[in-house]
Structure 1
Amino acid sequence: IYTGGKGTTQNFKRTDYKFFNSEELKQQLNKTEDEAYKYPYVSQFSENTPNGRNLVIILVEALSYAYIDGLSGSDYKVTPFLDELSKKAEVYDNFYAVAQRSNLGVQASLFGIPPLESVGYIGGGLELSRLTKIGNIAQAHGYQTQMLQSSKRDSIRLDSIANYAGFQQYLGRSDIPITRTDYPDPDGAQFGWDYEMLMKTLELANEKTKPFISFSFTGTTHMPYVETPKHLQVYPYGQDTFTDFLNTVRYTDESLKAFFAEASKQDWYENTTFMILADHTLFKTKTPGLESAFHIPLWIYRPGQNIPPKRHKILASQLDILPTAFDLLGFNDEFASVGRSLYRERKPYSIVVKGDLLGAFTNSGSFLIAGDKIISESESVDFIENQAPKYAEQLKLEFQLSQQAVLNNTWVK
């Protein structure tokens, strides 16, 4: 009832992207308008062979790239574990959130869809359309699936999203007992405690009798910032909101350390790919701008596969997570995503949406589209006058094709 209502409301408020008419679409794509809107982002890695590896995705609340000392060169002293992981994993230094809200980060990462006008969002009407359901596809390959979040079960409607995507097990805050005794206020974490949620992720993984996919969403780093255990407080608590946030990052970093320490003892560990990324950046930053608004980290760690550590400089975003997961698992099923696998041919830009403004990061600069104007922080005249407008045209085409494919229910077959 809720999803249907949201979908109906969206139809009353419809705002179609009409950047290109039918003739212009035909010139660009050599297709009629109807043909252009049919499955524009359906793809398949037909040469892949399912490999039976496990996949663990950990989505960290509000973890900006800037606060990872080992990546950004900062000196906040709150990420010692992630700094060490950066020396062993594949790191994507130019990785971006698609938007600035948690549910849109989940939408981009799990379904490969950016925020679009008039189609709703995942958990709020978008489920009325057929989307790629990684959980269902994984089950068809003999996998077991689980999803957890440290927040309440229905926070951002993740419970319904988990069910829609095909995750067999789902747990939220009420399902995860607090086990630590060093919390100054055990009930004070409004969005739950990450340590307990990650330990429960491990517990469920240990119960699996088949290959598994696990998706876990942390929450302790969400404001209002709870007081963390005393020995993990790098900064005095209660004096500054920003340093209170940093203390929660230190706590989450230590929770990840504990998770990996226990996971490394399990039989399934070396047959597992770990992906750690953020849902979005911290909203209020010391250096406002497009970079700080969207720049997040991504680690891909495959401990038993002899993959050398590497700092990748390619442009990438949350939209690339779904196709990359298919590639890493060897899935050869059809899927749809605006993004592309990180191990295949790349696009020259990464999509972002800030409010109602579309935008992108490129190797030459970043920009937002405001009507007919290009807004950019770049000082390069060539980028602003020549390069950005070309990227903007590609961006508009992508959004028009995406929106109409979803509205026409031709996103996936």
Structure 2
Amino acid sequence: MIRFNNARGCFLGLLLILWLAVNAAVRTVLLVMAHGSLQDSFDWLTVTGIYFRGAVNDLFPYFLLTLPLMLVLLLKKRLWGGRTGRIVASATFWVYACAFLFGAVAEPLFWNEFSSRFNFIAVDYLIYTTEVMRNIAESYPVIPLLAAVAASAAIVSLLALRPFWKRAALPAPRSPRLLAVCFVMTCAAFLYSPLAPQDRVTRELSANGVWSLFSAYRNNELDYREFYRVIDDSRAAALLRENLTEEGTRFVSDDAGEWRREVRASRPEWKPNVIQIVVESLGSDLLGENTPNLNALAGQSLQLTRLMATGTRTVRGIEALTLSLPPTPGSSIVRRPGCEGLFSVGTVFREKGYDTAFIYGGYGYFDNMNAFFAGNGFRIVDRSDIPRENVTFTNAWGVCDEDLFHAALRDADESFRQKRPFYQFVLTTSNHRPFTYPDGKVSIPSGTGRRGAVAYTDYAIGEFLREAASRPWFADTVFVISGDHTSSAAGHTDLPPERYHIPALIYCPGRIAPAEVDTLCSQADIPPTLFDLFGWSYRSGFFGRSALRMKPDEGRAWISTYQILGRLTPDSLTTLAPVEQSGVFGWTFPDRVGSALKGEQAEVLTQRTEADYQSAHDLFKNGRLKENAVLR
């Protein structure tokens, strides 16, 4: 009979085999789920490469996960002694098996939602446990899943350890070779850089989920100057001024580093109330048979038909819509230290005498939203301010959209009573997993998926506008409806532009004529577009421009993930990535990215992109985006 003379090494080896097997199984499931995105490059060589790189990528995170166990095995002289020792060892194996199998269940669920391995979104989920745990509990059969994981881990542990206990030498001696191997591999794990192909989908499939989570936590905020290509400051300033130059504006000074402008009105001043409805995960692709109210509204509104979201998170949408800035890498400014006292859309409204409010159906501490809005002069109306008698339905993210809109109506009524014009930033939640909403409102049952959630949000918006039409302030109120981001920004490339296309409707019957503006533009352009419509003159620290003043060939938009930064023009996509990487590609709205561009044109496009992102980073970091710095 074969005897395991080094039981310590064998115990770790069994865990390693289980780890590799579980990750291979996960990779297989994800490969099936991602097959549609791999159709253009799917072949056996690609699949073999995915599994080979994946096995290598799985190896080093294993040593990090088992480091505490290694220390015990290396330091303790006697192991497995007696019944108690074997129970402790078996329980340890079972706990690791549970963790491995739990990850195997969680990763496909996360991929189904975000088409990605664990990333910075998963990091946020670990931070905001209250909402996330409720969301998970309402979205999935948690208890049966956990029970299945525990039972499966017990079966795996029994099958793996039964022959081990029969053959392991007792007591298990410490091995210098095991000590050396563990030391070397642990050091290597901390220096490890994953093997990663260029294609986004195959890169994600080859990745290890645990390492991806660790990496996202470590890189959640990136210093632009440390990770991206930097151009000369004077060149960046000159290009930024070129990018911001437009008819009807002049720079505050001739200083080469001056980006602030005096915006001159092109029409008589008008001071309407403004209700800006930002719909969770509303991409242009979701408009259709389930959105009859928005479809009808589009024909009565000024539409920005080629508007692009700046990012893939709600906080990115908030950042663009309030600060009118490109998305700097890492976390949104909404969640960073120093996010208070900034020049924002609220600054301009308050200078005109407006009451400004952030209205949200959930608890606004999530994603630091309350701190951001309050720190920038907004009143906060969130879940804690909505009386219980006015709540008809809640889920993990807050009250349903109807209850949210009723809160907005009450707040508008009060502002009107006080004879103050008002600006509301209203953020919805119903179009978010678990996709639950009140029964009987739409034909699609609650909790069955995004189609139903979108239909319900459309229903709630329709009811809201019908109720608003009965208010005395309605005729002098502009309604702005847009998405914060799309429901999925994942694609075959790192920045698929078609996955950032969101709707934007500006509605005020009798005052704003229905029209379509087909110029390529950004979420960050909505504030200056509104102020242009209102005939307002003001000092601007925005990077955004009025879509009504841009010529078609001047159109541009910023799109991003938390690491990859992009700038679109009508015929190109320029990308910046760590470490000092860049690329320029052909692009035609709204199709996929084409072939790479080279030469002088590509260099100019790259430098313009760098000027936008580098300048936004530097201005924020140096405090020059503060309200008092812009206005002085």
Normalising to structure 1: TM-score of the pair?
0.81
- Distance (whole Å) between structure 1 residues aligned to residue 238 and residue 517 of structure 2: 36
Which of 259, 262, 268 does residue 40 from structure 1 map onto?
259
1:408 positional shift: 2.2
Which amino acid is the alignment partner of residue 114 of structure 1?
Answer: P
* 1:326 corresponding residue in structure 2: 531
* 2:473 corresponding residue in structure 1: 268
Deviation readout 1:150-198 (Å, 9 max, x if unpaired): 111322222222222222x3211222246689x7xx3435343111111
Deviation readout 1:184-232 (Å, 9 max, x if unpaired): xx34353431111111101111122221111100011112222542341
Deviation readout 1:312-338 (Å, 9 max, x if unpaired): 211111111221232233332212111
* 1:224 corresponding residue in structure 2: 434
Which amino acid is the alignment partner of residue 101 of structure 1?
Answer: R
* 2:517 corresponding residue in structure 1: 312
Deviation readout 1:85-128 (Å, 9 max, x if unpaired): 01111111111100111111101101112222489612422425
1:183-332 equivalences under 5 Å are: 186-208=393-415, 209-234=419-444, 244-283=449-488, 290-305=496-511, 307-332=512-537
Deviation readout 1:46-95 (Å, 9 max, x if unpaired): 666642211111100000100112xxxxxxx2101000001111111111
SS of structure 2 residue aligned to 1:170: strand
Deviation readout 1:309-364 (Å, 9 max, x if unpaired): 11221111111122123223333221211110122235331111123112123222
* 2:570 corresponding residue in structure 1: 363
1:30 positional shift: 10
Question: 8 Å contact 1:107–1:122 — kept in the other structure?
Answer: yes
- Distance (whole Å) between structure 2 residues aligned to residue 388 and residue 61 of structure 1: 35
* 2:337 corresponding residue in structure 1: 125
Which of 72, 78, 94 does residue 306 from structure 2 map onto?
94
Q: Which moved more, 1:130-139 or 1:309-318?
A: 130-139
Which amino acid is the alignment partner of residue 245 of structure 1?
Answer: R
Question: 8 Å contact 2:240–2:259 — kept in the other structure?
Answer: no
Gap regions ≥5 residues in structure 2? 1-217, 243-253
Which amino acid is the alignment partner of residue 469 of structure 2?
Answer: S
Q: In proportion to residue count, which structure has more helix?
A: 2
Question: 8 Å contact 2:283–2:486 — kept in the other structure?
Answer: yes
Q: 1:251 to 1:407 in 2, by over 3 A?
A: same
1:391 lines up with 2:605 in the alignment: yes
Question: 8 Å contact 1:39–1:405 — kept in the other structure?
Answer: no
Q: 1:155 to 1:45 in 2, by over 3 A?
A: farther
Q: 1:28 to 1:256 in 2, by over 3 A?
A: closer
1:147 positional shift: 1.8
1:23 positional shift: 6.3
Question: 8 Å contact 1:189–1:225 — kept in the other structure?
Answer: no
Deviation readout 1:23-57 (Å, 9 max, x if unpaired): 645886899xx954x44254423666642211111
Q: Which moved more, 1:50-59 or 1:222-231?
A: 222-231
Q: 1:376 to 1:230 in 2, by over 3 A?
A: farther
Q: 1:164 to 1:39 in 2, by over 3 A?
A: farther
1:379 positional shift: 6.7
- Distance (whole Å) between structure 2 residues aligned to residue 23 and residue 114 of structure 1: 19
- Distance (whole Å) between structure 1 residues aligned to residue 550 and residue 283 of structure 2: 26
* 2:153 corresponding residue in structure 1: none
Question: 8 Å contact 1:90–1:300 — kept in the other structure?
Answer: yes
* 1:72 corresponding residue in structure 2: none
- Distance (whole Å) between structure 2 residues aligned to residue 314 and residue 126 of structure 1: 34
Which of 312, 316, 321 does residue 109 from structure 1 map onto?
321
Which amino acid is the alignment partner of residue 374 of structure 1?
Answer: V
- Distance (whole Å) between structure 2 residues aligned to residue 187 and residue 350 of structure 1: 36
* 1:3 corresponding residue in structure 2: none
Question: 8 Å contact 1:315–1:350 — kept in the other structure?
Answer: yes
Question: 8 Å contact 1:119–1:126 — kept in the other structure?
Answer: no
Aligned-residue Cα RMSD (Å) equals: 3.3
Larger Rg: 2
Deviation readout 1:125-160 (Å, 9 max, x if unpaired): 2425x5213334433322222220111132222222
SS of structure 2 residue aligned to 1:251: helix
1:13 positional shift: 6.3
SS of structure 2 residue aligned to 1:230: coil
* 1:73 corresponding residue in structure 2: none
* 1:67 corresponding residue in structure 2: 286
Q: 1:114 to 1:199 in 2, by over 3 A?
A: same
Question: 8 Å contact 2:322–2:346 — kept in the other structure?
Answer: no
Q: 1:388 to 1:78 in 2, by over 3 A?
A: farther
The percentage of aligned residue pairs carrying the same residue is 24
